[in-house]
């Protein structure tokens, strides 16, 4: 049996990663080949940091194909962009990247063969189809297989075939690990950042180590997935942050091999005739400038003296620049609140936030003091949102509308039990959906409740027609307000390239806020049942929480996260392709958004129909109106401007996500260590 399934992962796969089983007698030869072909290795050769150029150092066809398959991009000037499209590959890195990709391809081929053999009746009883599948895989990967592996598969081929295949040279020996430089005395980005008190760790998914020896990886641990890279967050005006911040490369995320648009999503329609290439296209931003986002050095702000807390509001930021941060003490914020143009309720919520927020506190309070977003408790403006909504004004102002309660309607199930439907409180929301407000007493302001009931939603007003109205507590509202302030902050700082990263950060702030309140009050009873369930899931079952969050946010009716571009690498790849053919991509994007919005409206109307509160006539009229409405107004520019700005903001989004991850990690570690002590 040429290919033993029992030990294939160890005996065949291991050497291709590690080179550890390579015969010693080949080592001098391998060293000679390496010295001749690759010159000195990374860190030793002059110009190792310079961008690799395929015109100066051509790659083989197979290597070029491999790079392209793995989403690397070869530009016209010969430079090669990393898989996330963020920066050109360094000359010294290229041999290692090629080797890693080849290793991955080799492993994948062996796994595919393993699967075929696992499904078969045994290697001696392979069907013709199975045998041909294996032959095809082996042929395609022959150039990557070592002599030993090639021998294992010789029985699948005729002598004539083997004669031809053996003309393919054996793969070169694995590269050695580059010698590490002595870092003593050199203040690198990581060490500089780690000395800063406000430094945060950012998980940056990187390629697994190349040519790592078996001893390099812990025996029971998987290959390194993510190496947290410590970087300083941008624009933090702490004394340490006045040191020059390291230039951040965009987070490098290895692009997965599966990258298809989910089948359920409607395909983008063909570009309208108005957007044909014949139209003079506005020149897209220069690729080099677009694809290499670098975090701007933080604005040097002299921190206030400790004895004189800041009372004045920070200056509003100039358009296009990041707001400047100052340290906001509780006393300073209290002083600001005394004169701030906010109502009593909004001030109470802001005070709760100031006193109980740990994550992103300084940033959101700076934003409140500088941007003065309007904060309203207004179900009309909150619209179809259960808790809150951030509204951008055309004049650059922001409004945060908070809901103060929900309308509930219970329906009996077919056999037993009831199910609860949550409805918008505002007649305006129904009007926006093209429907009349249902004749529920809980929706009418002047209706008098039949009784007050205490239940999971707290004190709930019950009306004669069975409808209910429940109020949200100030604490629950404050958490929703905090989440909106984090979203506002990411928008003001242009950190919102990834809506998923923004949502993770906003919700991390919210849960940590509730956690602080619940700890001090020894109860989470101040939360409504839906928020309490989410909070407890975040606390007790975080893996399920994170899964459900993404799957809910990326669902069509929610629409917060675009499933085509969830992670930063996908955003980068999507935007890079769009910018390459911007006019056509813009038209296709408009069509895609239009179809998605229509589908979402259809789903909304189906949900209203399921409530049983609307006549078939009013639903038909609403459907007809929804079918006519466009998702967004016609574009002013033929090339969407947001793609270039998203590309520029990628690394900042990564920093924000990293901050949120670190904050959650610290909170969990603190909780676990407290539990151990108890």
Partner 1 sequence: MRRRISLFFWAALLGAAPLLAQESQPGEAKAGSVLYLAPSHLFACEVPSGWRAFETEDALGPVVRFLGPDNPAGTYRTGLSVRWFEKGNPGYVEAQKAVDDLRRSDKDTKRSSTAVIHMRVGGLLARLFEVVEPRALPLERLPADEEPIHHYVAVIPSGLNYYLVRLSSAREVYLDFREDYMRCLKTFKPLGR
- Interface with partner 1 (CB under 8 A), residue from 90, 98, 241, 253: 253
Residue 610 dihedral angles phi and psi, to the nearest 5° = -65, -25
- Based on CB atoms, which residue is closest to partner 1, 5 or 300? 5
- Interface with partner 1 (CB under 8 A), residue from 147, 221, 273, 278: 221
| Burial class (CB within 10 angstroms; exposed 0-12, middle 13-18, buried 19+) of 110 | buried
Rounded to the nearest 10°, the torsion over CA 469, 473, 474, 478 is -100
DSSP string for 70-94: TT-EE-TTSBEE-TTSSSBPBTTTH
- Interface with partner 1 (CB under 8 A), residue from 68, 300, 315, 610: 610
* Interface positions, 493-512, toward partner 1 (CB under 8 A): 504
- Interface with partner 1 (CB under 8 A), residue from 386, 399, 404, 473: 386
* Interface positions, 85-104, toward partner 1 (CB under 8 A): 104
* Cα 333 to Cα 338: distance, rounded to the nearest angstrom: 9
DSSP string for 529-575: HHHHHHHHHHHH-HHHHHHHHHHHHTSTTT-SS-TTS-SHHHHHHHH
Q: Which stretch binds partner 1 (CB under 8 A): 52-60, 267-275, 606-614, 636-644?
A: 606-614
Beta-strand ranges (E) seen in 403-492 are 405-412, 418-423, 451-455, 458-462, 468-471
Number of residues written out for the chain: 678
- Interface with partner 1 (CB under 8 A), residue from 33, 68, 225, 279: 225
- Interface with partner 1 (CB under 8 A), residue from 1, 533, 577, 580: 533
Residue 400 dihedral angles phi and psi, to the nearest 5° = -110, 115
CA dist list (Å): 255 to 5, 222, 389, 562: 29, 18, 33, 17
- 13 near 3, Cβ under 8 Å? no
CA dist list (Å): 499 to 153, 266, 504, 565: 48, 21, 9, 9
* Interface positions, 124-163, toward partner 1 (CB under 8 A): 127, 130
Number of residues that bind partner 1 (CB under 8 A): 97
431 touches partner 1 by CB under 8 A? no
Q: Which two tokens stand for residue 185?
A: 């005395």
121 touches partner 1 by CB under 8 A? yes
- Interface with partner 1 (CB under 8 A), residue from 547, 580, 612, 620: 547
The nearest distance, CB 447 to partner 1, in angstroms, is 19
- Interface with partner 1 (CB under 8 A), residue from 118, 307, 452, 454: 118
260 touches partner 1 by CB under 8 A? yes
CA 225 to chain centre: 16
- 52 near 91, Cβ under 8 Å? yes
Beta-strand ranges (E) seen in 197-249 are 200-205, 226-231
The nearest distance, CB 255 to partner 1, in angstroms, is 7
- Based on CB atoms, which residue is closest to partner 1, 148 or 411? 411
- The H or E element spanning position 356 is helix 344-356
Q: Which two tokens stand for residue 236?
A: 């933090």
- Based on CB atoms, which residue is closest to partner 1, 14 or 348? 14
Q: Count of CB atoms within 10 A of residue 593's CB?
A: 16
Longest dimension (CA), the chain: 92
- Interface with partner 1 (CB under 8 A), residue from 259, 269, 288, 580: 259
- Interface with partner 1 (CB under 8 A), residue from 49, 57, 179, 541: 541
- Interface with partner 1 (CB under 8 A), residue from 546, 593, 598, 623: 546
555 touches partner 1 by CB under 8 A? yes
- 571 near 643, Cβ under 8 Å? no
- Interface with partner 1 (CB under 8 A), residue from 542, 580, 624, 629: 542
- 392 near 490, Cβ under 8 Å? no
- Based on CB atoms, which residue is closest to partner 1, 233 or 563? 563
* Interface positions, 445-504, toward partner 1 (CB under 8 A): 456, 504
The nearest distance, CB 369 to partner 1, in angstroms, is 27
- 173 near 20, Cβ under 8 Å? no
* Cα 360 to Cα 504: distance, rounded to the nearest angstrom: 12
* Cα 595 to Cα 601: distance, rounded to the nearest angstrom: 10
- The H or E element spanning position 677 is helix 650-677
Residue 470 dihedral angles phi and psi, to the nearest 5° = -115, 145
77 touches partner 1 by CB under 8 A? no
- Based on CB atoms, which residue is closest to partner 1, 333 or 359? 359
Q: Which two tokens stand for residue 626?
A: 């929804």
312 touches partner 1 by CB under 8 A? no
- Interface with partner 1 (CB under 8 A), residue from 422, 439, 525, 627: 422
Q: Is 522 left (phi over 0), alpha (psi -120 to 50) or beta?
A: left
- Mask for 339-378, x = binds partner 1 (CB under 8 A): ----------------------------------------
- Interface with partner 1 (CB under 8 A), residue from 39, 59, 62, 112: 112
- 175 near 97, Cβ under 8 Å? no
423 touches partner 1 by CB under 8 A? yes
The nearest distance, CB 222 to partner 1, in angstroms, is 2
111 touches partner 1 by CB under 8 A? yes
- Based on CB atoms, which residue is closest to partner 1, 2 or 612? 612
- DSSP at 53: B
- Based on CB atoms, which residue is closest to partner 1, 492 or 569? 569
Q: Which two tokens stand for residue 506?
A: 């906003």
- Interface with partner 1 (CB under 8 A), residue from 75, 143, 347, 385: 385
203 touches partner 1 by CB under 8 A? yes
- DSSP at 496: -
- Interface with partner 1 (CB under 8 A), residue from 46, 262, 445, 633: 262
- Mask for 179-198, x = binds partner 1 (CB under 8 A): --------------------
- Based on CB atoms, which residue is closest to partner 1, 387 or 495? 387
* Interface positions, 624-663, toward partner 1 (CB under 8 A): 661-662
- Based on CB atoms, which residue is closest to partner 1, 121 or 166? 121
* Cα 583 to Cα 107: distance, rounded to the nearest angstrom: 40
- Interface with partner 1 (CB under 8 A), residue from 359, 387, 463, 526: 387
Pairing of strands 374-377, 398-402: parallel
* Interface positions, 513-532, toward partner 1 (CB under 8 A): 530
Q: Which residue has the tokens 């909106």?
A: 484
- Based on CB atoms, which residue is closest to partner 1, 374 or 386? 386
- Based on CB atoms, which residue is closest to partner 1, 282 or 455? 455
220 touches partner 1 by CB under 8 A? yes
558 touches partner 1 by CB under 8 A? yes
Q: Which stretch binds partner 1 (CB under 8 A): 35-43, 289-297, 363-371, 666-674?
A: 666-674
- Mask for 563-602, x = binds partner 1 (CB under 8 A): xx-xx-xx----------------------------xx--
Q: Report the first-to-last Cα separation within the chain, whole angstroms.
A: 58
107 touches partner 1 by CB under 8 A? yes
Q: Which stretch binds partner 1 (CB under 8 A): 37-45, 176-184, 384-392, 641-649?
A: 384-392
């Amino acid at each position: 049996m040429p290919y033993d399934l029992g030990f294939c992962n160890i005996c065949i796969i291991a050497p291709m990663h590690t080179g550890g089983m390579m015969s010693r007698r080949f080592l001098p030869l391998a060293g000679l080949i390496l010295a001749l072909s690759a010159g000195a290795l990374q860190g030793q050769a002059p110009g190792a940091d310079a961008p690799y150029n395929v015109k100066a150092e051509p790659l083989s066809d197979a290597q070029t194909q491999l790079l392209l398959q793995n989403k690397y991009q070869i530009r016209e000037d010969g430079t090669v962009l990393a898989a996330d499209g963020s920066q050109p590959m360094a000359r010294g890195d290229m041999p290692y990247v090629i080797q890693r990709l080849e290793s991955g391809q080799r492993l994948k081929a062996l796994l595919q063969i393993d699967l075929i053999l696992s499904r078969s009746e045994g290697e001696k009883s392979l069907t013709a189809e199975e045998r041909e599948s294996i032959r095809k895989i082996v042929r395609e990967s022959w150039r990557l297989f070592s002599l030993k592996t090639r021998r294992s598969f010789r029985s699948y081929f005729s002598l004539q075939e083997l004669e031809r295949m053996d003309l393919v040279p054996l793969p070169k020996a694995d590269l050695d690990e580059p010698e590490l430089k002595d870092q003593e005395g050199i203040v690198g980005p990581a060490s500089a950042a780690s000395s800063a008190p406000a430094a945060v760790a950012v998980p940056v998914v990187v390629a697994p180590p190349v040519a790592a020896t078996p001893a390099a990886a812990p025996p029971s641990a998987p290959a390194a997935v993510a190496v947290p890279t410590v970087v300083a967050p941008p624009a933090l005006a702490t004394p340490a942050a006045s040191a020059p911040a390291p230039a951040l490369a965009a987070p490098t995320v290895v692009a997965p091999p599966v990258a298809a648009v989910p089948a359920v999503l409607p395909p983008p329609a063909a570009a309208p005739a108005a957007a044909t290439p014949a139209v003079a296209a506005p020149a897209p931003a220069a690729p080099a400038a677009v694809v290499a986002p670098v975090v701007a050095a933080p604005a040097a702000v002299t921190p206030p003296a400790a004895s004189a807390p800041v009372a004045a509001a920070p200056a509003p930021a100039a358009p296009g620049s990041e707001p400047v941060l100052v340290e906001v003490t509780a006393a300073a914020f209290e002083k600001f609140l005394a004169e701030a143009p906010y109502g009593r309720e909004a001030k109470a919520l802001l005070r709760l936030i100031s006193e109980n927020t740990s994550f992103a506190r300084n940033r959101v309070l700076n934003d409140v003091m500088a941007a003065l977003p309007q904060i309203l408790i207004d179900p009309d403006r909150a619209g179809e949102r259960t808790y809150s909504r951030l509204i951008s004004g055309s004049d650059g102002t922001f409004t945060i509308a908070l809901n103060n309660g929900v309308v509930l309607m219970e329906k009996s199930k077919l056999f037993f039990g009831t199910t609860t439907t949550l409805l918008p409180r505002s007649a305006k929301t129904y009007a926006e959906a093209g429907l009349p407000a249902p004749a529920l007493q809980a929706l009418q302001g002047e209706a008098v409740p039949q009784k007050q009931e205490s239940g999971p939603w707290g004190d709930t007003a019950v009306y004669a027609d069975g409808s209910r109205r429940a109020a949200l507590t100030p604490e629950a509202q404050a958490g929703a307000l905090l989440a909106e302030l984090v979203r506002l902050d990411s928008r003001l700082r242009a950190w919102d390239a990834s809506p998923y990263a923004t949502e993770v950060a906003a919700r991390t702030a919210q849960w940590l806020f509730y956690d602080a309140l619940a700890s001090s009050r020894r109860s989470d009873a101040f939360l409504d049942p839906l928020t309490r369930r989410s909070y407890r899931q975040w606390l007790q079952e975080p893996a399920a929480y994170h899964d459900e969050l993404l799957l809910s946010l990326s669902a069509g009716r929610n629409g917060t996260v675009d499933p085509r571009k969830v992670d930063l690498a996908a955003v980068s790849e999507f935007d890079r392709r769009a910018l390459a053919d911007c006019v056509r991509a813009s038209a296709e994007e408009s069509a895609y958004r239009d179809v998605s919005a229509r589908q979402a409206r259809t789903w909304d109307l189906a949900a209203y129909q399921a409530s049983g509160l609307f006549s078939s006539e009013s639903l038909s009229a609403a459907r007809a109106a929804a079918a006519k409405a466009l998702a967004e107004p016609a574009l002013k520019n033929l090339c969407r401007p947001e793609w270039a700005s998203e590309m520029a903001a990628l690394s900042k989004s990564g920093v924000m996500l990293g901050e949120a991850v670190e904050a959650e990690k610290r909170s969990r570690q603190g909780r676990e260590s407290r539990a151990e002590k108890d």
